[in-house]
A = this chain, B = another copy of it.
Amino acid sequence: MAEYWIGVDIGGTNIVCGAVNDEGRLLAMLKRPTPVDQGSDAVMDRVAVMVQEMLRANQLDIHSVAGAGIGTPGHVDPIAGKVLQASNLNWRDVPIAAGLSSRLEIPVFADNDVRMYVYGEAKVGAGKHFANVLGITIGTGLAAAFVYQGQLLHGSQFLAGEIGHIPMNEISYPCVCGLTGCLETMASGTGIVRQARDYLQAGHPTLLRQIPSEQIASEEVSKACDAGDRLAIDIMNRTGRLLGKGLAAAITLFSPDVLVIGGGVAAAGDRLLQPMKEAIRELVYEGYWSHLTISVARHPELAGVMGSAIFAKERLARSRSNIRCIPPLI
Q: Interface of A with B (CB < 8 Å)?
A: 75, 78-79, 131-132, 144, 146, 148-163, 165-167, 169-170, 177-179, 245, 248-250, 252-257, 283-288, 291-292, 311, 314-315, 317-318, 321, 323-330
Q: A177-B285, A178-B286 are in contact. Are A157 and B328 (CB under 8 A)?
A: no
Q: Is the CB of B330 within 8 A of A255?
A: no
- 5 sample A-B contacts, Cβ–Cβ < 8 Å, listed by A number: A155-B256, A156-B257, A317-B326, A321-B326, A323-B324
Taking a contact as CB atoms closer than 8 A, the residue among B149, B159, B321, B329 that contacts A314 in the complex is B329
Q: Cα distance A314–B78 when bound, in Å?
A: 28
Q: Is the CB of A287 within 8 A of B157?
A: yes
Taking a contact as CB atoms closer than 8 A, the residue among B166, B167, B177, B325 that contacts A327 in the complex is B325
Taking a contact as CB atoms closer than 8 A, the residue among B144, B179, B253, B287 that contacts A250 in the complex is B253
Q: Which B residues are in CB contact (< 8 Å) with A148?
A: 148, 153
Max count, chain B CB within 10 A of own CB: residue among A78, A132, A156, A166:
A156
Q: Cα distance A230–B284 when bound, in Å?
A: 35
Chain copies in complex: 2
Q: Is the CB of A162 within 8 A of B253?
A: yes
Q: Which B residues are in CB contact (< 8 Å) with A160?
A: 132, 253-255
Q: A156-B255, A157-B291, A245-B167 are in contact. Are A162 and B324 (CB under 8 A)?
A: no
Minimum CB–CB distance for A73 against chain B, Å? 16
Q: Which B residues are in CB contact (< 8 Å) with A315?
A: 329
Q: Is the CB of B165 within 8 A of A252?
A: yes
Q: Cα distance A78–B161 when bound, in Å?
A: 26
Minimum CB–CB distance for A123 against chain B, Å? 12
Q: Cα distance A158–B318 when bound, in Å?
A: 28
Q: Which B residues are in CB contact (< 8 Å) with A285?
A: 159, 162, 165, 177-179
Q: Is the CB of A253 within 8 A of B255?
A: no
Q: Cα distance A317–B285 when bound, in Å?
A: 35
Minimum CB–CB distance for A286 against chain B, Å? 6
Q: Is the CB of B287 within 8 A of A159?
A: yes
